[in-house]
Amino acid sequence: MRNRVIICEASEIIANGLAEIIDSMAQCDVVARLDTPEHLSERITSSDANLVIIDPTLLGFHNKGFLLQLGKEHPNLIVIALVTSYLDHAMLAPYKGFIEINDTRSKIISKMNEFSQCDTSKKSDDVELSKREIDVLVAVAKGMMNKEIADQMNISIHTVISHRKNITRKTGIKSVSGLTVYALLNNLIDEKELI
């Protein structure tokens, strides 16, 4: 299946350059380019896009909330950050991955191939998470880092990482934003706890 990609980037030069690289790939088509995220959700629906590449700086402080809403509206969507300047690591946590401004053509193609293989269509029905895995999932959804989770639960970081791997294996969800949406949809967390 060909990937239908939307690029959301204010710089026309960067957006056009990235689009040229992506369009040269056999399994990807750039179906839209936007310079603001204002009408992104509508364009995803109208173009049936399954992959969005967006500059996180366009979202500002509303980064997490915007991605959470996008995940609710389009649960099978893969969202990739386009990093054009220095960003705090925490800003990149909600994304499935990222492309950097200084990545070479071959590196971008390699990353796009990797993102294309992400299976977001796995059903979360009949997933049985242990009590501890649910606790870790809720902590991740609240934006806690592995060390914070380990300290709060009095377990090692390695145990937290092991639980996170099990959660990903069982749910098929790799991104923090995807896990947050999963936690919300399964009533494991209240939306008020995310603010």
Domain count, the chain: 2
Residue 109 shares a structural domain with residue 138: no
23 occurs within a structural domain: yes
Instruction: Please determine, for residue 87, whether its predicted confidence score (pLDDT) is greater than 60.
Output: yes
Per-residue pLDDT of 51-60, as tens digits, reads 999 999 888 7
Residue 51 shares a structural domain with residue 138: no
What end-to-end distance do the CA atoms of the chain give, in Å?
37
Instruction: Please determine, for residue 31, whether its predicted confidence score (pLDDT) is greater than 90.
Output: yes
Which runs of consecutive H residues, i.e. helices, occur in the chain? 12-23, 40-47, 63-73, 89-92, 105-116, 131-141, 146-153, 157-171, 176-185
Per-residue pLDDT of 6-15, as tens digits, reads 999 999 999 9
- Tell which of 59, 86, 116 closes a domain: 116
- Tell which of 116, 139, 157 closes a domain: 116
Instruction: Please determine, for residue 194, whether its predicted confidence score (pLDDT) is greater than 80.
Output: no
Closest of 101, 86, 94, 89 to residue 65, by C-alpha: 94
Q: Chain-centre distance of CA 27, in angstroms?
A: 20
Give the structural domain span for 185: 131-194
Supply the mean pLDDT for the chain. 84
Strand partners of residue 34: 8
pLDDT of residue 2: 81
Instruction: Please determine, for residue 118, whether its predicted confidence score (pLDDT) is greater than 90.
Output: no
CATH assignment of the domain containing 112 = 3.40.50.2300
Instruction: Please determine, for residue 127, whether its predicted confidence score (pLDDT) is greater than 80.
Output: no
156 occurs within a structural domain: yes
Residue 93 shares a structural domain with residue 139: no
Closest of 50, 18, 12 to residue 34, by C-alpha: 12
Residue 91 shares a structural domain with residue 54: yes
Residue 158: band (very low, low, confident or very high) from pLDDT cuts 50, 70, 90:
very high
Residue 153 shares a structural domain with residue 73: no
126 occurs within a structural domain: no
**% of the chain with per-residue pLDDT over 90:** 37
39 occurs within a structural domain: yes
User: What's the pTM value of the predicted model, to 2 decimals?
Assistant: 0.60
- Tell which of 85, 116, 147 closes a domain: 116
Q: What is the distance between the alpha carbons of residues 71 and 76, in angstroms, rounded to a whole number?
A: 8
Residue 95 shares a structural domain with residue 147: no
pLDDT of residue 174: 79
Phi and psi, residue 8, nearest 5°:
-115, 100
Residue 15 shares a structural domain with residue 82: yes
pLDDT of residue 142: 87
- Count of Cβ atoms closer than 10 Å to residue 24 Cβ: 10
Q: Are 118 and 174 in contact (CB under 8 A)?
A: yes
Per-residue pLDDT of 64-78, as tens digits, reads 778 888 888 888 889
Residue 10 is classified by DSSP as: S
